[in-house]
Chain A
Amino acid sequence: MSRLLGVIDAATVMGGLQDLTLNRSVASIPFAGRYRFIDFVLSNMVNSGVDSVAIFPKHQYRSLMDHIGSGKNWDLDRKRDGLFFFPPNFEPNETTSIGSFSRLEQHIEFFKRSHQDYVVIASSYVIANIDFEEALAEHLIHDYDITEVQHNGKSLEIYVISKALLIELIEGRRSSQFISVSDVVKQPLHNFKIGAYDHKDYTAIIDSIPAYLNHSMDLLRHDVWSRLFTQDRPIYTKVKDEPPTKYSSTAQVSNSMIANGADIRGSVENSIVSRAAKIGKGSKVKNCVVMQKSHIGNDCSLEYVILDKDVRVLDGTSLKGTAEQPLVLRKGSVREAAMVKS
């Protein structure tokens, strides 16, 4: 049985991703054709042997709850331990800083009742394949109070801490003035021994629309996907009963990642195409991310465009963004070819 308790702080709001978070939290932004951001950290926990994971959402968490469900897809529908979902009480001015003590305090009983002695507290938006057992080993060898998981010196806002210290910090938050685990690590003046665990493998932090597109394109590199999606540490997600993808006689696909249930009749280059997306005949899709159930009609031309879920691009439409400023088509929106007056 693992000594680690998992906590995913899904309260983050990111201004840079606003176009993709109108109806959902950052944690449930679709990524890599069939996943959501949270799938990565949640699968990392499960693959590290964590049997008990608590998710603390804050804003717009309907889609997140729908995605996670009972935790069955992560094998977390257990009689003992398993998955816990802790929606927040109403606190208007609360911090969204990772590991907020006031948020954790609302469910302190969970920590007190759990048998695990250590806690991994993680943000919900890091795309990586991390072994938290290794981070815990580092934490124990050096006798750190808090270990921060980093990549090339940059914080991933993932922390390992003993449960006893965490409870002490939560209960003492009013006198200590520390507001979160992240806050403790960032403050210069205290007596805690803060260490770092460096995750050397591929890691992406997605905090803006250009970063979203850029890191989506990373997935097309063999060295990236082969290390992110491994056989022994798979990334789990909510499975859908989509059929295999169908390619027609006019399909032309190159250097792209295509999820199941898609219907490809046009040309697709350097792109990510999600579940049940449709790309019509004569259309050219280049450097794009097409999210699930979005339909691109016939004879369209799209470059550097991110299509959120359920977008309709009608026949003959041309849309162009740039790598620095990708065009985002919001969830459920419809785009048609500009009307030309005769």
Chain B
Amino acid sequence: MVKKKCVAMLLAGGQGSRLHSLTTKIAKPAVPFGGKYRIIDFTLSNCTNSGINTVGVLTQYQPLVLNSYIGIGSAWDLDRRNGGVTVLPPYTEASGVKWYSGTANAIYQNLNYIEQYDPEYVLVLSGDHIYKMDYSEMLDYHIQNEAEATISVIEVPWDEASRFGIMNTNEDLEILEFDEKPAEPKNNLASMGIYIFNWKSLQKYLDQDNLNEESSHDFGKDIIPLFLNEGKRLMAYPFEGYWKDVGTVKSLWEANMDLLEENPGLNLFEHSWRIYSRNPNQPPQYLAASSEVTDSLINEGCVIEGKVSRSVIFQGVSIGAGASVHESVVMPDAVIGKNVTITKAIVPGDITVPDGVTITPEDGNEEIILVTKELVEKLRKDVTA
């Protein structure tokens, strides 16, 4: 194998249980986002756009869709003769099956994958976030600062800091302490779950952590403290820009709505930093004479006969005449019948909402409705009753 300067390890095995029915059959990184994409597209595109072309994707929970979606990586230009994308599921050894028991353990079990490329640096990523970031700039920062590890951080509002893993740093952004969800935060720099390690040190501490039976084998909780205890130089890399964890139905909905701003924090139309994905190859969208579409993103293959406002509509969706879809996200191939009213909801793919049904939150309820087959069935009976 040809030596690589930096190998990326992308953690994509998370369940995302707070996304409920959206993740019963697929892992969180495979959840559709932004009218065309899946969450993992953002991290994979960042890799390609940053010139990092060796990416191991660690899968575990419900990997079928994710595995076939990634394929040989051609959608992200990651089908390379040397390197490229490699899906790394848990595997069996003579001693038995070894499930990934934590983020650090997942990497530990694939040390031999990294070894093949004998890299100087390892970039650890998570496939759960929506953002654009040039990892090559972070790597330059890591090298310039002669750090053993660099963690990307973002400023969060002080009153929310206790929900995050907080990095306590000195004025030069050298990390002194890692506080996981502190009750009384001393800082407001939250870890984005993006790490760059010097390969040799990472290898050493992963070996050490593996022998510790008390460890939860987590990067934030277990590996970073090992570096800190030995006085290694850890740097925080300050990131400015749009970054969102879409771990809940509400935050997934919000991140979709963010795209509809006049000047969105995350611009999908930027040519120099394209977000790549598998292209569905469907005909252009058709907007009928009866349609009324404003403030929305609509993908190919859709047939729109009703009213759509402040919504994100994925490929292959049809919206019937007299229907009104407002502040909602409609995922691939869903069918919205005639005279349906939908407000503040996420409609997962392949759901058919029958004619005349109304799905809208009760007054004062801030929750976003996640439409399910059960809900649709109940509403259908109400309409016909």
Residues of A in contact with B (beta carbons under 8 Å apart): 32-34, 73, 220, 225, 229, 234-237, 239-241, 243-261, 263, 272-274
Interface pair A243/B293, CB less than 8 Å apart: no
Q: Contact check: which of A73, A243, A248, A259 meets B294 at CB < 8 Å?
A: A248
Q: Contact check: which of B268, B281, B282 meets A243 at CB < 8 Å?
A: B268
Residues of A within 8 A of B300 (CB): 34, 244, 259-260
B102 within 8 A of A: no
Closest to B293 in A: A247
- Considering the chains assembled together, what is the distance between the CA atoms of A149 and B292 in angstroms? 42
B221 within 8 A of A: no
Closest to A72 in B: B74
- Considering the chains assembled together, what is the distance between the CA atoms of A272 and B289 in angstroms? 14
Interface pair A243/B287, CB less than 8 Å apart: no
B291 within 8 A of A: yes
Residues of B within 8 A of A225 (CB): 283, 286
Interface pair B281/A258, CB less than 8 Å apart: no
Interface pair A32/B283, CB less than 8 Å apart: yes
Interface pair A245/B285, CB less than 8 Å apart: yes
A–B complex contacts, Cβ < 8 Å, 15 sampled: A220-B286, A239-B279, A241-B274, A244-B34, A244-B35, A245-B285, A247-B297, A247-B298, A249-B294, A253-B291, A255-B289, A256-B286, A256-B287, A259-B285, A263-B269
Interface pair B291/A243, CB less than 8 Å apart: no
B276 within 8 A of A: yes
- Considering the chains assembled together, what is the distance between the CA atoms of A261 and B313 in angstroms? 14
Residues of B within 8 A of A237 (CB): 281
Q: For chain B, residues 175 to 222, give those with C-beta under 8 angstroms from any C-beta of chain A.
A: none
Interface pair B281/A249, CB less than 8 Å apart: no
Interface pair A246/B297, CB less than 8 Å apart: yes
Interface pair B293/A257, CB less than 8 Å apart: no
- Considering the chains assembled together, what is the distance between the CA atoms of A239 and B279 in angstroms? 7
The range of chain B's interface size is 20 to 34
Interface pair B295/A248, CB less than 8 Å apart: yes
Residues of B in contact with A (beta carbons under 8 Å apart): 34-36, 262, 268-269, 274-277, 279, 281-289, 291-300, 312-314
A258-B279 CB under 8 A given contacts A244-B34, A247-B294, A249-B294 = no
Interface pair B289/A244, CB less than 8 Å apart: no
Of A250, A253, A272, the most chain B CB neighbours within 10 A belong to A253
A255-B287 CB under 8 A given contacts A237-B281, A245-B297, A247-B294 = yes
Interface pair B295/A249, CB less than 8 Å apart: yes
- Considering the chains assembled together, what is the distance between the CA atoms of A248 and B295 in angstroms? 4
* 3 nearest A-B residue pairs (beta carbon): A244-B35, A243-B268, A33-B284
Interface pair B277/A235, CB less than 8 Å apart: no
A257-B294 CB under 8 A given contacts A240-B279, A241-B277, A246-B269 = no
Residues of A within 8 A of B297 (CB): 243-247
Residues of A within 8 A of B298 (CB): 244-245, 247, 258
> Least Cβ distance of A129 to chain B in Å?
12
Contacts A235-B283, A243-B35, A250-B294 aside, 14 further interface pairs with beta carbons under 8 A come to A32-B284, A225-B286, A243-B297, A244-B35, A247-B297, A248-B262, A251-B293, A254-B291, A255-B288, A256-B287, A257-B284, A257-B286, A258-B285, A261-B269
Interface pair B289/A258, CB less than 8 Å apart: no
Interface pair A234/B294, CB less than 8 Å apart: no
Interface pair A244/B283, CB less than 8 Å apart: no
A260-B281 CB under 8 A given contacts A243-B275, A247-B293, A254-B288 = no
Interface pair B287/A253, CB less than 8 Å apart: yes
- Considering the chains assembled together, what is the distance between the CA atoms of A229 and B285 in angstroms? 12
> Least Cβ distance of A54 to chain B in Å?
23
Residues of B within 8 A of A256 (CB): 286-287
Residues of B within 8 A of A229 (CB): 282-283
- Considering the chains assembled together, what is the distance between the CA atoms of A220 and B287 in angstroms? 9
> Least Cβ distance of B317 to chain A in Å?
11
Closest to A261 in B: B269
Of A234, A246, A259, the most chain B CB neighbours within 10 A belong to A246
Interface pair B269/A244, CB less than 8 Å apart: no
Interface pair A247/B285, CB less than 8 Å apart: no
Closest to B312 in A: A244
A254-B285 CB under 8 A given contacts A243-B275, A249-B295, A260-B299 = no
Interface pair B279/A241, CB less than 8 Å apart: yes
Residues of B within 8 A of A245 (CB): 285, 297-299
Residues of B within 8 A of A248 (CB): 262, 294-295
